[in-house]
Amino acid sequence: MQNLFRSAIAQPIFQFFIIAAVLYTAVYWSGKLSGDEYNVNISDKVTNDLYSRYKSEYGLAPDEVTFRAYLDDWMQEEILFREAKAMGLDIGDDMIRERLVRKFKDVLLGEISTGGWDEEDLQNWFNENSSLFDVPPLFDIEEIALNKSTYQAQFESIVSNEYKAVDLKTRKFYGRSPANINQLFGKDAINTLENHDEGGWVLIKNAESLHAVRITKIVASQKSNFEDVRVRASQIYQDQLMREQLNVRLSDIAAKYEISFPEQLIPTQRD
């Protein structure tokens, strides 16, 4: 009998059925989480680690609303991570959590269809979002960097057009958008400039530096035309539909989980 058994298991066809049975069992149980896997316990350690990570990434401490949004992002990733592992997407792959999250998102996106819309839907969406495609106004500006200890006197000499006599160097910028001007000179710099007459010098202060700035030319903004941007609008519209459907799928998956938060969201130790 033993010899017969050994002879049988040595046959390729027998080995094939054994392997098939093992694979069937693995596939059957993949995609299934145990009850404990549906419990996401956001402990003090998790919030402490995430709080430290946020400060490291952004260079400042978050308020409670910001930190809750940051924590929600982590929670969504944790759910995606567990679902990805349950599907066996981590088999043979030693990459970290983020890669598994991306892989599971790819699985979900592969199940999403962005069809079902027509030209009228796209036109209506464009009418509501046409500002996304407008060409912003462009500005030519001149700027003079000021010394923090003597900026008042320097600015007065600039306004009186005597700045060349004191050797203040002028920099010129051409065709800059409002967003770029704010990047150069600080938040709301473009609003400050636009509230003054074109050609007039404006003193702009930010946390790091002082500047005398003036607008020398303005190219007016241009409204977008649907036909000119139709291809780009179509892509953005489809991307938006895909994101909306992805969020619905994620919400359905998240509904399986029981999620608990600590009573104190912001860690006590903030140093």
Question: Is the pTM for the entire model greater than 0.75?
Answer: no
Q: What is the DSSP string of the chain?
A: -HHHHHHHHTSHHHHHHHHHHHHHHHHHHTT---GGGGEEE--HHHHHHHHHHHHHHHSS---HHHHHHHHHHHHHHHHHHHHHHHTTTTTT----HHHHHHHHHHHHHHT----S--HHHHHHHHHHHGGGTSBPPEEEEEEEEE-TTTHHHHHHHHHTT-GGGGTPPPEEEEEE-HHHHHHHH-TTHHHHHHTS-TT--EEEE-SS-EEEEEEEEEEPPB---HHHHHHHHHHHHHHHHHHHHHHHHHHHHHTT-EEE--S--S-S---
Which pLDDT band holds residue 10 (cuts at 50, 70, 90)? low
- Comparing 19-28, 102-111, 235-244, the range with the smallest average pLDDT is 19-28
Residue 83 scores a pLDDT above 90: no
How sure is the predictor about 271, in pLDDT bands with cuts at 50, 70 and 90? low
Confidence band of 139 (pLDDT split at 50, 70, 90): very high
The answer to whether residue 190 scores a pLDDT higher than 70 is yes
